[in-house]
């Protein structure tokens, strides 16, 4: 008489998934510093996980839609709903990929109170002390506005975004509006 492990499988899978998600979140929260001491903002594990796991799940949906189907009485309706899920997940993956592309293209770096980033393909340098406004957009991104007129959008989920917020509090001007 043995123990039936099939009933433990969902529990063990959930625990393993939770452990992996926690490890990815902790790994993704640390900032990146290059060899010259510049801190950087990069896509986090959340961004990469969204693209990779979203693509895997969408691929499974497409496989079921193309090759498996449904033999139930409401199978046509099920496949129609699955088709809409494929479209919705594909759009979400494209949004994650666009966010990764934007973070890499912006190439935000800072050291002390100096911040540099790419704007329209040109590297821009500003001082955090010249920050005149910080607002949260409807997309949950933070928009930094400098006295020079430069604007920079920061994804709060990006790796290094929290360290940049700390640098703004440490080096930025007094009386900056609260973005909330």
pLDDT of residue 138: 86
In this prediction the pTM is 0.72
pLDDT tens sequence across 109-132? 999 889 999 988 899 999 999 888
Is residue 85 situated within a structural domain? no
The answer as to whether 59 is a domain residue is no
The answer to the question of residue 33 being in a domain is no
- Kindly tell me if the per-residue pLDDT of 81 is higher than 70: yes
Contact (Cβ atoms closer than 8 angstroms) between residue 34 and residue 40: yes
Q: Is 54 contained in some domain?
A: no
Residue 6 lies in a domain: no
Q: What is the pLDDT of residue 35?
A: 57
Quick check: 1 pLDDT over 60? no
Tokens of 141: 């991104």
Find the mean pLDDT for residues 134-158: 89
Domain count, the chain: 1
Task: Report the CATH number that the domain containing residue 133 is assigned in CATH.
Answer: 2.40.50
Per-residue pLDDT at 71 exceeds 60: yes
- What is the predicted pLDDT for the residue at 98? 92
Tell me the two tokens of residue 87: 């479209």
Q: If you average pLDDT over residues 36-49, what whole number do you get?
A: 89
**pLDDT category, 21, cuts 50, 70, 90?**
low
59 or 17, which is more confident?
Answer: 59
Q: How confident is the model at residue 180 (pLDDT cuts 50, 70, 90)?
A: low
Which structural domain range is residue 160 located in? 109-171
Helix (H) / strand (E) element for 53: namely: helix 45-63
What percent of the chain has pLDDT above 90?
31
Say how many Å lie between the first and final Cα of the chain, rounded.
Answer: 61
pLDDT at site 101? 92
Instruction: Give the confidence band of 175 by pLDDT, cuts at 50, 70, 90.
Output: low
Residue 159 inside a domain? The answer is yes
Residue 11 has what pLDDT? 61
What is the pLDDT, as a whole number, of residue 34?
Answer: 61
Distance between CA atoms of residues 97 and 105, nearest Å: 12
In a domain, 121, yes or no: yes
Domain-embedded: residue 152: yes
Q: Is 162 helix (H, G, I), strand (E, B) or coil?
A: helix
């Amino acid at each position: 008489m043995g123990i039936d492990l099939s009933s433990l499988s969902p529990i063990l899978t959930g625990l393993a998934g939770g452990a992996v998600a926690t490890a990815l979140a902790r790994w993704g929260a640390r900032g990146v510093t290059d060899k010259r001491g510049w801190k950087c903002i990069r896509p986090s594990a959340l961004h990469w996980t969204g693209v990779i796991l979203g693509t895997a799940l969408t691929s499974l949906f497409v496989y079921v839609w193309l090759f498996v189907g449904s033999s139930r009485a409401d199978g046509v309706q099920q496949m129609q709903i699955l088709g809409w899920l494929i479209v919705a997940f594909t759009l979400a993956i494209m949004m994650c990929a666009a966010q990764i592309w934007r973070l890499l293209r912006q190439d935000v770096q800072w050291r002390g109170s100096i911040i540099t980033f790419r704007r329209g393909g040109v590297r821009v340098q500003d001082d955090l002390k010249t920050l005149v406004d910080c607002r949260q957009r409807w997309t949950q991104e933070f928009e930094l506005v400098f006295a020079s007129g430069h604007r920079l959008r920061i994804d709060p989920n990006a790796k290094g975004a929290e360290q940049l917020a700390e640098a703004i509090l440490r080096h930025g001007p007094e009386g900056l509006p609260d973005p909330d």
